[in-house]
């Protein structure tokens, strides 16, 4: 069986994905408690891999648990912690566990985590990992030429940061990831539909907007303080000052943040080449199911090529 996420995007459905950070727990019920409220609502659920350069329940184990629970995962794989041998084993393990969607990431530097003396690996970069997964899927081989039995029906993704493109800007990094095998992109937070429109228009001019599916990252903000933190601390995140001011004026900032998120889905669904949104809600998981329910009622149109 292939990826339902891939099928929906291929059918030009506007998709909504969410994200779960595995707990620091050996109790599987803690993970399922976070993920099951998204069942039947999110088109797929990302499982982060050592988010924040901190240990958690392993991403492959967590993704396999979601498969067992009838929730389609997007397994994030970072290049920070494992060499190419371990990553190739992880790709085989993911395929054997029924995981179809993969998102290849560099991973946060250990200096950002709770054990800053940990040694980073970075034997591969995300582009090389994409190439490895594509070869495994398409030829049934590892880079060494060794044959792998069974099937690895992967739908391959990568990350990107939307930018307000300056004159002369070219999407060279994204083009390299597409050439390496990326079929979809999930982006960093971009809470500015104007930036998204200009970014994708430039990608269209470069001839690559139609080559890959774009899911724009959005966040249900909880306060003006959290919005300022995201804008300052998360590389590539775009939070307009006007939005922060709106949060400051709100009598109920959390409710206002949820409404802003719903409004963003509606606005983004009207932009050519936006194929869906990826809702990330660190520390605010409980808000996501209701946001997805409300957002589906406001989607302006199905995505068209």
Confidence of residue 282 (pLDDT cuts 50, 70, 90): confident
Residue 218: which of 210, 208, 227 has the closest Cα? 227
Residue 22: which of 52, 54, 58 has the closest Cα? 58
Q: What percent of the chain has pLDDT over 70?
A: 98
Cα–Cα distance, 160 to 305 (Å, whole number): 20
- pLDDT tens digits along 119-136: 999 999 999 999 999 999
Determine the average pLDDT of the residues in 90-104: 98
Determine the average pLDDT of the residues in 195-216: 96
| Residue 28 forms part of a structural domain | yes
| Residue 302 forms part of a structural domain | no
What average pLDDT does the chain have? 95
Between 187 and 1, the more confident residue is: 187
Q: What percent of the chain has pLDDT over 90?
A: 93
Cα–Cα distance, 162 to 236 (Å, whole number): 7
CATH assignment at residue 286: 3.20.20.220
Q: What pTM does this model have? A: 0.95
- C-alpha torsion sign, points 294, 236, 124, 139: positive
pLDDT at 256: 97
Cα–Cα distance, 182 to 54 (Å, whole number): 26
Indicate whether 198 pLDDT > 80.
yes
| Residue 301 forms part of a structural domain | no
Determine the average pLDDT of the residues in 280-304: 82
Which of the residue ranges 37-41, 108-112, 166-170, 279-283 has the most confident prediction, judged by mean pLDDT? 37-41
Indicate whether 1 pLDDT > 90.
no
| Residue 292 forms part of a structural domain | yes
Give, for 277, the enclosing helix (H) or strand (E). strand 276-279
Strands (E), 35-192: 44-47, 73-78, 101-105, 155-160, 184-189
pLDDT at 303: 41
Determine the average pLDDT of the residues in 64-88: 98
Indicate whether 302 pLDDT > 90.
no
**Structure tokens that stand for 253 in this block:** 């900032």
| Residue 139 forms part of a structural domain | yes
Residue in the block written with tokens 């084993």: 89
Could you give the number of structural domains in the chain?
Answer: 1
- Length of the chain counted residue by residue: 305
Cα–Cα distance, 222 to 217 (Å, whole number): 16
Residues spanned by the domain of 217:
4-296
Q: What angle do CA 214, 70, 33 make, to 5 degrees?
A: 95
- pLDDT tens digits along 144-175: 999 999 999 999 999 999 999 999 999 999 99
| Residue 169 forms part of a structural domain | yes
DSSP per position, 31-78: HHHHHGGGTTTSSEEEE-SSGGG---S-HHHHHHHHHHTT--EEEEEE
pLDDT at 298: 79
**Structure tokens that stand for 283 in this block:** 């520390």
Indicate whether 28 pLDDT > 80.
yes
- pLDDT tens digits along 217-270: 999 999 999 999 999 989 999 999 999 999 999 999 999 999 999 999 999 999
Cα–Cα distance, 28 to 68 (Å, whole number): 12
pLDDT at 304: 39
């Amino acid at each position: 069986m292939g990826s339902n996420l891939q099928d929906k995007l291929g059918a030009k459905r506007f998709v909504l994905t969410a994200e779960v950070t595995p707990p620091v727990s050996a109790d599987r019920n803690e993970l399922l408690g976070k993920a099951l409220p998204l069942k039947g609502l999110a088109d797929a659920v990302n499982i982060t891999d050592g988010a924040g350069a901190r240990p958690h329940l392993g991403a492959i184990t967590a993704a396999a648990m979601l498969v067992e629970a009838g929730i389609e995962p997007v397994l994030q794989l970072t290049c920070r912690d494992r060499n190419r041998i371990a990553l190739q084993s992880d790709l085989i393990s993911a395929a054997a566990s029924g995981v179809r969607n993969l998102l290849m990431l560099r991973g946060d530097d250990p200096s950002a985590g709770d054990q800053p003396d940990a040694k980073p690996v970075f034997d591969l970069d995300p582009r090389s990992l994409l190439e490895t997964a594509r070869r495994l899927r398409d030829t049934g081989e590892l880079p060494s030429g060794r044959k792998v039995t069974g099937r690895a029906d992967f739908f391959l993704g990568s990350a990107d940061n939307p930018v307000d493109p300056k004159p002369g800007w070219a999407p060279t990094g994204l083009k390299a990831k597409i050439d390496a095998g990326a079929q979809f992109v999930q982006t960093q937070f971009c809470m500015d539909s104007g930036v998204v429109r200009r970014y994708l228009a430039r990608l269209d001019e470069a001839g690559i907007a139609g080559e890959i599916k774009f899911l724009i990252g959005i966040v249900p903000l909880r306060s003006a303080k959290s919005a300022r933190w995201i804008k300052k601390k998360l590389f590539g995140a775009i939070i307009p000052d006007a939005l922060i001011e709106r949060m400051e004026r709100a009598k109920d900032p959390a409710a206002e943040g949820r409404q802003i998120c719903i409004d963003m889905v509606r606005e983004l669904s009207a932009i050519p080449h936006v194929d869906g949104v990826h809702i990330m809600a660190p520390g605010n998981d409980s808000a996501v199911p209701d946001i997805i329910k409300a957002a589906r009622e406001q989607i302006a149109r199905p995505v068209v090529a």
